[in-house]
Structure formats: structure tokens, C-alpha cells
Structure 1
């Protein structure tokens, strides 16, 4: 059985998918009431599952008429994707940014779940047991090589 965080995440993703603008604006307390949870649970889901690395822009306004706006950031089309990846990855990339990019590519359908799992394993700090900054440089080169190979299929 899925936990409440998974359910809230899926609910928000469904709303985003149905939105023609790719944006959803919610009231934190209303959403907490809808799911019978505390508002901090909503904050947790948004701050951990809707990050910039995962392809989301989150904006919030506190106060009486406050809201949380989540916007899906679309990846460039296939032709511009290589330039975007080179810019994002650069000459070095840390593990959390790499994992966020892999997540974003999987969500956009550029990678299968299996490919994403293999990539996450390959770029993990456990697999790349060398000191920084060399680890981030190796991770960058591995990411670029894997993505060029997978995205040119």
C-alpha cells in the first residue's frame, strides 16, 4: 500500500498533467483537509518531490490569500536536448543533481524505468569511490556517455 506522501504526489502530478498551462495553484490547508493530514505533510511532499532538479518550479505566497504554485518545466525537444544536457551536466555534476536529471528524463519518457535505475546505480557515490572533485568529473563524463548512447537510439 502506498503512503500518504505518494498519494499526494500522484494527485498533484495528475492535476499538473491535466492543466493546459502545466501549472497548478493550491491552498496548502485545503489540500491538507482533502487528504486528512497536517499541512506540514503537504510542505514535505512539495519540498522533496517537486524540486527544480526533478523539473518543477515551486512558488509560494504566505498569508491569508496564500497559495503554492507548482509549474512543470518541460525539457527541450529532442533536437535541443543534447545542448541542454551538456549545459546542465557541465564538467562535473554532484549525485543529487545527477539523480534529479535522471528522474526528469524518466518522467519525460526519454528513459525507461530500467535505464534510469541502471544510471542511478552507475553514478552513485558508492560506485564512484574516489575523492571530490574527481568523483563529480567522472560522474559527468559517465552521464554524458550514457545519455548520448541512450538518446541516440
Structure 2
């Protein structure tokens, strides 16, 4: 198992016991014999808003990392996603959001399939590619607002 996988599993194990966990970046790096930037990589790739996590990080002085995965209601989860989306979103991020929405019971399999199809790149072929992520974000936000009802 790669060190990034071990670090991610360690953090997930801690989160299974608590709603949030606070760790020292340097201490975690020492524990796994990696450089602190490896910890940053794990956080930025495995503990993202798309995956339902909130990460607060402070650099300098060893820094600290606070990771939480709130237990949202359906409406709260949708609001979390809406607040996580900027002006644009790529196809990979959409897939992650949708997969997590399905896993957390926010949408059913039929909605997952419908939303994934509607938000795929192939639907934007008549639009210049530089606008695809902007259009996708706008459509996804509208879908999420529709789910709140």
C-alpha cells in the first residue's frame, strides 16, 4: 500500500471515531516518514468538499489540520455542495460529487444517471470548450436547487 493510501486510511479511521479530527501536519509527516507536502497532497486529493469533507489548514510552525465530515441532512448536504461549487466545475469533479450524493442517499440511481448524462461534456459540443465548466456549474447548481424542494 502506498504511503498516501496509508495516511488517508489513518485519517479516515480517526474520523470514524469522531466527527472531526485535529492533527499536526509535521507530526503526521514524521509518523509516516514522509515530507509535509505529502500530507498536503493527501488532503487535497482525498479530503475534498466534493467528497464531503471540510479541511481547515494553517501553515507555519508545524501547522495544524482540522478535518471534519459533518453529518448533514439532505438539505444541509445540498447546501454544502452549493457552497463548494465556484463559477466553474469540471467533469471529474461532477462525477465525484454525484457519486458521493448517491452514496449518502441524497439522490437515487436514476437521478445519478440522469444528472451524470446531462452534465457530461458531450452535451456541450455546440459551445466553445472554454465555457463548458461554467455552463456545467450553472446547470448543476440549478439541479441542486431543484432537489431541495
| Pairwise TM-score range, normalised by the shorter structure | 0.5 to 0.7
Unaligned runs of 5+ in 1: 149-153
**Pick aligned residue for 1:24 from 8, 14, 21:** 21
Shift of 1:28: 0.9
Whether contact under 8 Å (2:26, 2:62) holds in the other structure is no
1:138-149 matches, cutoff 5 A: 140=140
Equivalent pairs, count: 136
Shift of 1:12: 0.7
Higher relative contact order (CA 8 A, sep 6+): 2
1:59-98 matches, cutoff 5 A: 59-64=56-61, 66-77=63-74, 80=75, 84=78, 88=82, 94=89, 95-98=91-94
**Pick aligned residue for 1:50 from 32, 47, 50:** 47
When residues 18 and 137 of structure 1 are mapped into structure 2, their CA distance, relative to the original with a 3 A threshold, is closer
**Pick aligned residue for 2:98 from 99, 102, 109:** 102
When residues 10 and 124 of structure 1 are mapped into structure 2, their CA distance, relative to the original with a 3 A threshold, is farther
Distance of 1:4 and 1:119 partners within structure 2 = 37
Distance of 1:66 and 1:136 partners within structure 2 = 36
Distance of 1:88 and 1:24 partners within structure 2 = 24
TM-score of the two chains, using structure 1 as the length reference:
0.62
Corresponding residue for residue 35 of structure 2: 38
Shift of 1:73: 2.8
Distance of 1:40 and 1:97 partners within structure 2 = 22
Whether contact under 8 Å (1:128, 1:135) holds in the other structure is no
When residues 120 and 49 of structure 1 are mapped into structure 2, their CA distance, relative to the original with a 3 A threshold, is farther
Whether contact under 8 Å (2:95, 2:116) holds in the other structure is no
Q: CA RMSD in A?
A: 4.0
When residues 46 and 119 of structure 1 are mapped into structure 2, their CA distance, relative to the original with a 3 A threshold, is farther
